[in-house]
Amino acid sequence: VSALETNLGPGREFDRIRLMAARWRGRARGLGDDCAFIEAGGERLAVSTDLSIEGVHFRREWLTPGEIGYRAVAAALSDLAAVAAEPLAVLLSFGIPEWLDDAGLEELAAGAGDAAGDAGAVIAGGDTSRSPQLICDACVVGRAAAPVLRRGARPGDVLVVSGTLGASAAALEGLLAGAQPPAALRARFARPPSRHALARFLAAHGARAMIDISDGLAADLGHLLAAGETGASLDVAALPVHPAAAEWAAARGEEPWRLAARSGEEYELIAALPPSVADDRLAAAPVALARIGVVEAEVGLRAHLAGAPVSLPPGFDHFGT
Amino acid sequence: VSALETNLGPGREFDRIRLMAARWRGRARGLGDDCAFIEAGGERLAVSTDLSIEGVHFRREWLTPGEIGYRAVAAALSDLAAVAAEPLAVLLSFGIPEWLDDAGLEELAAGAGDAAGDAGAVIAGGDTSRSPQLICDACVVGRAAAPVLRRGARPGDVLVVSGTLGASAAALEGLLAGAQPPAALRARFARPPSRHALARFLAAHGARAMIDISDGLAADLGHLLAAGETGASLDVAALPVHPAAAEWAAARGEEPWRLAARSGEEYELIAALPPSVADDRLAAAPVALARIGVVEAEVGLRAHLAGAPVSLPPGFDHFGT
């Protein structure tokens, strides 16, 4: 087991980890990164676990059992992408409620299997139990030959983010309001993207620090910077906003970049790349990358719009904290 | 990822696994054993995950947060003992309900850390979330140089079981009846034993098949025999009954061996050893071993008492299925 350690940023979940770590002292190793690392036979494996609970992370009226399974496993596998590990295996713990019949369980399993397959991993085991509500805990194992951690960003590094942002939060807002969101938004919420090929591309292009977006760009970029004891300047006009999410925001009087900055469970990647990385190299990425800012020595995240400072929206803490 | 496969025995959980495996087809590997095995750099790692849910696996009135944490992690680690793997790391997913305050969370974490420490493992990561009830999913990783699987028992092999049985079921019955069970019974329920040293001893003495007792001796021995496509003769008079559990059973008009045979969540080990293994070798085990039967070619579990056939009690499926 490696002794990699990462500084924890602010936030309720990190407060809890700090509280627990204080009790564990010498019994804990490498907490606070997207994965745990375990050395075996000269190789390094990355392991992560991710808990999805009905009523906390999703409502059953929103998603089919297949989508619930896909989403839970994709979310867990995203932690492997965040450290540029190659997915190998998924272990599934399912808490199965009364309302999920055998056909539903089959769909749940099929969705989980599809997410594993899309990432090149196999289902290797798990646990099932009855439960008052649907619970999916996915434990994922990957090969991390040269992991990229949250820490490692250096002043001058270029910050990039993949894909487009905002659709997940917009879909969630629609669902919470009891409306069926536009199909493009709903699809993004129900079937998060797989960024494993992109993660390998970024690692191959010298990524110094990486994180996936689960709490929202503003929050997760904050975690990356805290881990590296650095700060950054962020150009919010450069944030790539999902077109349907931009429409969604505009219709509700919100600046689209704000929706993009606060939208959680996006599972896009944020990376810090050496300043020397050329635009034409980034253009060859398997998923579009946007340059959104620059790492700076001064701690803190300084967002600006057309040269004027702006304040960032707070992080995402699932729905209805 | 290894392609080890194990025949699944009867039972509701196995029905669910069969249902899911049918949908996964080529996407699943090695289901049905106590652990999944992952090859890395010429080494083999064993990985397992175990879900504990308030109201399903325990009630909060029964246990302190520290005991809940200890029990959840010890149960998961028992799967590593079952395959004779050396515990390395534990990842914890906690679903944290309103009723658990920060002091309770610290206790929960400390209990989980104690269980990891008692088995020689470290806490390497995890996930936390709020939740309607307390959920602990422990994912455990171990080094399995020469794993012992459920399958592998051969006709003529000696069946042994470790420790004493019955205390867990007796404690559970007391708790379900709203009474505080005798301290010796309660302790056994709240703080399951760690059988990792014993597992290494059994592997070193040529154990051909092994399983830990989570569903009850009768059910788990059935799983071991089904995996190996063998049967067995079981001498129920040889079952080692916990003294306080024997008293508990006698006071309630149950034959003590029946309580021992059906008691789940014992986390003792059942092993099939070559017939050549000598009694004086077994006497050197770090935990007492009882010879309880012999593996036979004919499929099925044949229990007898003083030469007469007896029927075994059904398996344990947590409380209040």
* pLDDT tier at A321, thresholds 50, 70, 90: very low
**pLDDT above 80: residue B7:** no
- Largest distance between two CA atoms of chain A: 57
| Nearest-neighbour CA in chain A from B201: distance (Å) | 23
Under 8 Å between Cβ of A206 and A158: no
The radius of gyration of chain A from alpha carbons, rounded to an integer in Å, stands at 19
In this prediction, residue B4 carries a pLDDT of 37
**B316 has pLDDT over 90:** no
DSSP notation for B276-294: T--HHHHTTSSS-EEEEEE
Say what the pTM is: 0.92
* B residues 89-118 closer than 8 Å to A (CB): 89, 91-96, 102, 105-106, 109-110, 113, 116-117
Q: What is the pLDDT of residue A30?
A: 76
Output the pLDDT for position B319.
46
Q: What is this model's ipTM? A: 0.90
pLDDT confidence band for B1 (50 / 70 / 90):
very low
Q: Which of B17, B41, B56 sits opposite A43 (nearest CB)?
A: B41
B35 vs chain A: nearest CA distance in angstroms?
A: 7
> Phi and psi (nearest 5°) for B222?
-60, -40
Which token pair is B95? 């679903």
Collapsing DSSP to helix, strand or coil, A202 comes out as: helix
pLDDT for position B321 = 36
Q: Is the pLDDT of residue B5 over 80?
A: no
Tens digit of each residue's pLDDT (9 = 90 or more) over B45-69: 999 999 999 999 999 999 999 999 9
Residues 50-69 of A with CB under 8 A from B: 50-51, 53, 55-57
H helix runs in chain B, sequence order: 12-24, 65-82, 102-118, 167-176, 183-190, 196-204, 217-228, 243-251, 256-262, 279-282
Distance CA A54, CA A111 (A): 16
- Per CB-CB distance under 8 Å, the chain B contacts of A116 are 27
For the segment A208-232, the average pLDDT, to the nearest whole number, is: 96
H/E element holding A182?
none
User: Is residue B32 pLDDT above 80, yes or no?
Assistant: no
Best probe of the B interface among A17, A131, A321, by most B CBs < 10 A, is A131
For residues B73 and B120, the answer to whether their CB atoms sit within 8 Å is no
Predicted local distance difference test score (pLDDT) of residue A240: 98
Of A19, A22, A47, the CB nearest to B91: A47
Stretch among A164-178, B8-22, B143-157 having the lowest mean pLDDT: B8-22
